[in-house]
Amino acid sequence: MLQRPTVIISRCREGGEAARLEDALARLCTARGWDVQVVPDLYHLPADSPLRLELAGLGLAVPVACSMHPRPAAQLLRDCGLEAEVVVDLRTCADAREALDALALPGVAGAGAVRELPAAGGERWYPVIDRGRCAGCRACLQFCLFGVYELDADGQVLVVRPDNCKPGCPACSRICPEGAIIFPLCDEPAIAGAPGTLMQPDPAARRMYYVRSGRPCPVCGGVATAGDAPQEGAPACAECGRALPDATEPSQVHDEIDALIDMLDGLAGGGAR
């Protein structure tokens, strides 16, 4: 017998109205002949949860409905060994019917079944790496002080200790030059992976990276420190934000050059006489 198509609904931890929407969507999906796997919030699913193996066992691309932006949801599903055929953010749907239409499910003969897959685990905060954007620069690895990241045997950066991350801190996302690091619970849309947005390092974030990592700036060659921030309006390196000498103030070298020119002018003038 052919296996029925499956929809994954990732439970929102908030419950309440979100849970009612999820349950209504599950009923509509089964009425169209699709099986439904209701799982705990994919973001809060523990790394060692046996449920990850169960999901990987589906072995196919699946539609997913969750209270999360599509980009981090798709990556979290990949981390469980699945591909997302389509991701519907339930927060953007007025009701279950709109969510069903967004899933674009064709009808299948017969009725599907709902299976709730519980898993233990508390609320978490950690970075999700969008592998489609990660360029392997290792800036996050050099920047993080808490041992969240490590390299695998192939030199790829992995989130190996997610629970070492400090709740509420998305700093590594701010310094990622590719916008590949997502914190789904962050209030800032670009950091949370909202569609049409992409986090890019601004001058303050670049300076934060160089100060914390201690790496020399490839532009000015200096090493930024916490105490060398420029005064407002003062010259600074465009890359690392390190305060630079004011070119308008004469330096000792400039003074010596000026004195040498004056001397040469004097000699030239004396010769002419």
CATH value at residue 176: 3.30.70.20
Task: Between 3 and 210, name the one with better pLDDT.
Answer: 210
Indicate if the pLDDT at residue 218 is higher than 80: yes
Shared-domain flag, residues 189 and 249: no
The DSSP line for 3-67 is PPPEEEEEPPTT-THHHHHHHHHHHHHHHTT-EEEEES-GGGS-TT-THHHHHHTT-SEEEEEES
Range of the domain at 92: 6-116
State the pLDDT at residue 138. Answer: 94
Domain boundary among the residues 64, 87, 116 is at 116
Q: Name the nearest CA neighbour of 29 among 88, 91, 92, 94.
A: 88
- Quick: pLDDT tens for 58-108: 878 899 999 999 999 999 999 988 899 999 999 999 999 999 999 998 888
pLDDT of 245 reads 77
Of the listed ranges 34-48, 86-100, 183-197, the least confidently predicted one is 34-48
Q: Are residues 192 and 254 in the same domain?
A: no
Same domain, 106 and 133: no
Each residue's pLDDT tens digit, 169-185? 999 999 999 999 999 99
Handedness of CA 11, 14, 20, 21 (dihedral sign): negative
CA-based nearest residue to 186, from 196, 201, 206, 171: 171
111 and 17 in one domain? yes
Give me the helix-helix angle, 17-31 and 96-103, nearest 10°: 50
pLDDT interval class at 273 (50, 70, 90): very low
Could you say which DSSP state residue 162 is in?
G
CA distance 212 to 230: 17
Judged by phi (left if over 0) then psi (alpha if -120 to 50, else beta), residue 11 lies in beta
The predicted-structure confidence for 221-252, as pLDDT tens digits, reads as follows 999 888 888 888 888 898 988 888 764 444 45
* Residue 207 in domain: no
* pLDDT computed for residue 99 by the predictor: 96
Any domain includes 172:
yes
The confidence score (pLDDT) of residue 272 equals 45
- Total domains present in the chain: 3
Helix (H, G, I), strand (E, B) or coil at 193: coil
Report which listed range, 15-19, 46-50, 52-56, 128-132, is most confident: 128-132
pLDDT 10s digits, 132-167: 999 999 999 999 999 999 999 989 999 999 999 999
Domain CATH code at residue 26? 3.40.50
* Residue 34 reports pLDDT greater than 70: yes
| Predicted pLDDT of residue 52 | 86
In-domain check, residue 12: yes
What's the rounded Cα separation, in Å, for the pair 198 and 181? 10
* Among 148, 203, 147, CA closest to 175: 203
- Specify the pLDDT at position 133: 94
Residue-level pLDDT at 265: 64
Q: How far is CA 71 from CA 32, 58, 111, 197, in A?
A: 27, 21, 31, 11
